[in-house]
Amino acid sequence: LTFHFSDLAVSVAQAMSVAIEVSLLSGESVQVEVEPTHRVHQLRQKAQTQLQLGIESLLTASGQTLCDLDCIAETNLKDGDILTAVCRRGQLISGPESLAFAYRRSDGSVLTWGNEACGGSSKRVRDQLVDVEQIAANNFAFAARLSDGSVVTWGEAGKGGNSRHVRAELTSVVHLEGSTADFAALRADGRIVCWGSMAPDPVAESLLDTKQLIANSSAFAALSKDGHVACWGFWNSRGD
């Protein structure tokens, strides 16, 4: 009798996989197999490939929107469950006084034009702009949140276009905001990461349980899970 551990590994992997049906409102559907350790965005990407269209989000039978960064095991999805796919639409983005535009296509790719120094050219990061979930803009740069929770930036380096110094912190990002010459990112763990002309900011760095992040032209505000609000930015924009 010959026994191969590789055969056992394949069998175990297959036994652990979960078959999920992803359906469109038109009635078209596909079956996607994922492992419990995979994240929702990997399930969504597989469904996108099979359906040949961009998917913005996945809804459970109860109408709950699944978080892209959650593991399949955390969602309590079971073999044979049905999810509804919300198709991704094109989105046009620009800052209040920006000289450039960005357009996120329905397939998650990005097209840019306008003043090159302010983000009108994204050639430097073009290969990284894949499966973009959100784009935020300030007046000088753009920041894109990818489905895996990472962030890609371009535009004027000192005003948010270069995020290399905080790249290690820009993980599991769920939301982005832009303000004049700065950006702020909300992570899944409730922490805030800032970069740009004013960053780092001690107020933002002290926040640990943020559930909502917004910005105006010159300041940011964060709402914590216990209902407290913290602000930072230019004082005359109520950032004090």
Supply 77's token pair.
Answer: 């999805």
Kindly state the DSSP code that residue 108 receives in the 8-state scheme: S
- List pLDDT tens digits, range 55-102: 989 999 999 999 888 899 999 999 999 999 999 899 999 999 999 999
Q: Please determine, for residue 212, whether its predicted confidence score (pLDDT) is greater than 80.
A: yes
Q: Which of 161, 187, 56 is nearest to 102 (CA)?
A: 161
Tens of pLDDT, residues 106-155: 989 999 999 999 999 999 999 999 999 999 999 999 999 998 899 999 99
Q: How far apart are CA 146 and CA 135, in angstroms?
A: 9
Give the rounded percent of residues in the chain with a pLDDT score beyond 90.
Answer: 75
Confidence check: pLDDT of 15 > 90 = no
- For the chain, report the end-to-end CA distance as a whole number of angstroms: 75
Cis peptide before 202 (omega within 30 of 0): no
For the residues 28-51, what does the mean pLDDT come to? 93
| Residue 29 to residue 187: CA distance in whole angstroms | 32
Judge whether 47 and 87 are in contact, CB under 8 Å: no
Separation CA 46–CA 238 (nearest Å): 44
Question: Rounded to an integer, what distance in angstroms lies between the CA atom of residue 193 and that of residue 213?
Answer: 11
CB-CB contact of 67 with 40 (8 Å)? yes
Q: Which of 184, 180, 172, 174 is nearest to 214 (CA)?
A: 184
What are the Cα distances from residue 178, in Å, to 94, 96, 140, 167, 194? 10, 10, 10, 17, 10
Q: From 220, 205, 115, 117, select the one nearest 161 (Cα to Cα).
A: 117
Does this model's pTM top 0.85? My answer is no
